């Protein structure tokens, strides 16, 4: 039986149509500001990250995955959540105030 690549091709074509709109300059500046604030807050909370070395100078560092492959995912998730909360607090697209 010959393998067919039709499902993979259909998926690739479907995903090719998925694009995101470019950010406006205001939103890009706000995202950059939120990222820097979040990084500063996380480094302040987790001071040990500044002094933690990578796994390159440890025993068995040439043997593929060192430690857990999901190491650091919780911190990455927390960072993305904090950036999202910061952007929500910037209140883009708020309705203008109506004066009587």
DSSP 58: S
> What are 37-84's pLDDT values in tens digits?
999 998 888 887 777 666 566 666 555 555 556 667 888 899 999 999
Q: Which residue has the tokens 């995955």?
A: 65
Q: According to the model, what pLDDT value does residue 79 have?
A: 92
pLDDT tier at 32, thresholds 50, 70, 90: very high
Distances (CA, A) of 15 to 2, 5, 77: 25, 15, 24
């Amino acid at each position: 039986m010959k393998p067919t690549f039709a499902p993979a091709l259909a998926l690739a074509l479907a995903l090719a149509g998925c694009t995101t709109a470019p950010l406006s300059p205001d939103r890009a500046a706000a995202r950059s500001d939120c990222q820097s604030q979040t990084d500063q807050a996380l480094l302040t909370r987790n001071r040990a990250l500044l002094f933690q070395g990578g796994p390159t100078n440890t025993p068995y560092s040439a043997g593929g995955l060192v430690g857990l492959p999901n190491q650091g995912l919780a911190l990455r998730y927390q960072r993305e959540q904090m950036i999202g909360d910061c952007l929500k607090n910037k209140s883009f697209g708020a309705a203008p105030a109506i004066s009587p």
